[in-house]
Amino acid sequence: MTKYIFVTGGVVSSLGKGIIAASLGRLFRSRDYSVIIQKFDPYINIDPGTMSPFQHGEVFVTDDGAETDLDLGHYERFTDTSFGQVNNVTSGRIYQEVINKERRGDYLGATVQVIPHITNEIKSKIVAATKQFKPDFHIIEIGGTIGDIESLPFIEAIRQFKSEIGIGNAISVHCTLLPYLPTSGELKTKPSQHSVNVLRSYGIQPEILVCRTSKPIPKTEREKLALFCSVPKDAVIACRDMKSIYEVPLALEAQGMCSVVIKMLGMEERTPKLDSWESLVSKIKNPKKSIKVAIAGKYTKLSDAYISVVESLKHAGYADAASVEIKWINSEECVDYSNCKSLLSDVEAVVVPGGFGVRGIEGKLNVIRYARENNLPFLGLCLGMQCAVIEYARNVAGLKGANSKEFDENPVYPVIDLMLEQKNVKGYGGTMRLGAYECHLKKGSVAAKAYGKEVISERHRHRYEVNNEYIDKISEAGLVFSGMSPDGMLAEVVELPNLDWFVACQFHPEFKSRPDKPHPLFKGLIDAALKRK
Ligand code: GLN
């Protein structure tokens, strides 16, 4: 039978609940238990797909094409498991489904209410995810902070779920903050006590407390927390600020958190196999070399907007015991080509990531031209690949004025065009080409060598594509179209094999990189960057 762990947060937002949930997931996995993690987000959007990256950070795409919260990326990276649509549910989706049922007459004339109809729908989403994956442990993270009006139906649903499933089958982990007052030299426990009181007022007594803190928790404070919050002393866990998020599972393990959870849930304790994770962390903490990689995009003020790209670069570095420093370049600063030299002269590689809209495009084209002309290792992702094709068309293939129809309604040479299947699409949510699709790589190409195979599957999120009418002309000029969809209709990878590393792809490899299994395209970029250094 599946055991449930509900993770809530209090005192402040941005406590890193997602990392804590993901770390606990890692600890189950290292005990050979299967685990899934599900995120409930209290906002009204059906999914984060329509939200600006400035608002919400990256949109993480799953194999089954769900546009999800960036925490799903942490879940997948820490547990090395691929999740899907059932793993991320918003209030918007819950209400939409309840309202659809009401319109269909499913409620047989009843008055439709938050309790029981919304809470039942929430509980059915928990059960649906359990049914799909049949895990040993099912972790459910509730977004937001305890006390928020928005998250109340979720909290009420977990209260019901916990009592229905019975003692010993579900526990709550509450994450809080212990602020440090330098004047008195103390970690303060009162906000955590209050936060637990709020949770209790909703009928939920947490079994475990995870406290974010910048200092170790002294024995007296730990005892105070245990006493006032009614949790066992060994269930007060400290989560210190750490250099790398990948240290968190080890820090939680050192305090016995997973064993406490396993005991509370009546499961069999097993010896964790953490050797490879420990050696990963030791490589992260003791890098032998360092390199600097530029990311030239438009959401550079918020690094969460490209979190999977940043993580993938770091993962590729770990494999070579190299630390990767990111240099953020606002592509608008490169609209003047002469700025590229000064901005890119101190980096060993450059990534042009995905994005939407015309702002900053000319700057991205200049960055790519600079990388191509100076043999600076380059990786283009989605929009980054479309820009690589436009740049090559304009500056090498003689197609002056080439552009994407996304940026110019009527370009002289529309080398990037809306995909056929997108032409009649109306509305924005969930309507792109989304999720995993196969791609066939050209034998002997840089991409095929990097992957070590010719048939790959990668995740997508786009509306536009290379216009096939121009492929011959552009490839005659030297750009190799080394990856195509199985039917040969959609260009998926382009490369310049004569340069050290110049590869761009229509898909998003960053969603499949793992800390201990770097993605081949990022590995290729970082290897080339290290060689250059
Ligand atoms: N805007 C481009 C498209 O829709 C690229 C999308 C992306 O980078 N994810 O095709």
Q: What integer pLDDT is reported at residue 298 of this predicted model? A: 87
Q: What integer pLDDT is reported at residue 13 of this predicted model? A: 87
Angle formed at CA 271 by CA 265 and CA 275, multiple of 5 degrees: 130
Mutate-to-test residue for ligand 1 from 386, 406, 460, 510, highest number of ligand atoms within 8 A of CB: 386
Query: Using an 8 Å Cβ cutoff, are 364 and 384 in contact?
Result: yes
**Token digits of residue 319:** 């494999």
**Token digits of residue 471:** 């492929």
* Cα separation of the two ends of the chain: 53
Q: What integer pLDDT is reported at residue 301 of this predicted model? A: 76
The residue behind tokens 């238990």 is 33
Query: Using an 8 Å Cβ cutoff, are 10 and 210 in contact?
Result: no
The residue behind tokens 């009006």 is 149
Catalytic residue among 174, 460, 508, 519: 508
Q: Which pTM value belongs to this model?
A: 0.95
Scanning 268-416, the segments in alpha helix (DSSP H) are 275-285, 307-319, 338-344, 361-373, 383-395
Q: What integer pLDDT is reported at residue 14 of this predicted model? A: 85
Mean pLDDT per 10-residue interval, the chain, length 533 residues: 97 91 98 98 94 88 96 97 97 97 95 97 98 98 94 97 95 97 93 96 97 94 94 95 95 97 97 96 95 92 89 96 96 94 96 94 97 98 98 97 96 96 87 96 98 98 97 97 97 98 98 97 98 89
Of 25, 508, 14, 511, give the one whose Cα is nearest residue 249.
25
Catalytic residue among 211, 382, 387, 505: 382
Ligand 1 proximity of 354 Cβ (cutoff 6 Å): yes
Of 198, 123, 108, give the one whose Cα is nearest residue 157.
123
Largest separation between any pair of C-alpha atoms in the chain: 75
Ligand 1 proximity of 355 Cβ (cutoff 6 Å): yes
SS3 for 124-183, per residue?
HHHHHHHHHHCCCEEEEEECCCCCCCCCHHHHHHHHHHHHHHCCCCEEEEEEEECCEECC
Q: What region does 126 belong to: left with phi over 0, alpha with psi -120 to 50, or beta?
A: alpha
Query: Using an 8 Å Cβ cutoff, are 384 and 504 in contact?
Result: yes
Burial state string for 335-348 with b = 16 or more CB within 10 A and e = fewer than 16: eeeebbeebbeebb
The residue behind tokens 């989403």 is 125
Mutate-to-test residue for ligand 1 from 462, 492, 507, 508, highest number of ligand atoms within 8 A of CB: 462
d(CA 355, CA 54): 12
Of 522, 509, 27, give the one whose Cα is nearest residue 315.
522
For β-strands 433-441 and 480-484, DSSP reports them as: antiparallel
Domains of the chain: 3-279 (3.40.50.300), 287-532 (3.40.50.880)
**Token digits of residue 347:** 């980096």
Number of alpha carbons in the 13 Å side-chain half-sphere of residue 297: 33
Residue 127 phi, psi (nearest 5)? -65, -40
Measure 382 CA to ligand 1 centroid, in angstroms. Answer: 6
| Alpha-carbon dihedral sign for residues 162, 163, 164, 169 | positive
Q: What integer pLDDT is reported at residue 288 of this predicted model? A: 95
Q: What integer pLDDT is reported at residue 52 of this predicted model? A: 86
Angle formed at CA 348 by CA 345 and CA 350, multiple of 5 degrees: 90
Measure 95 CA to ligand 1 centroid, in angstroms. Answer: 29
Estimate the crossing angle of helix 17-29 against helix 71-79, to 10 degrees: 20
Residue 514 DSSP one-character state: B
Burial class (CB in 10 A: 0-12, 13-18, 19+), 183: exposed
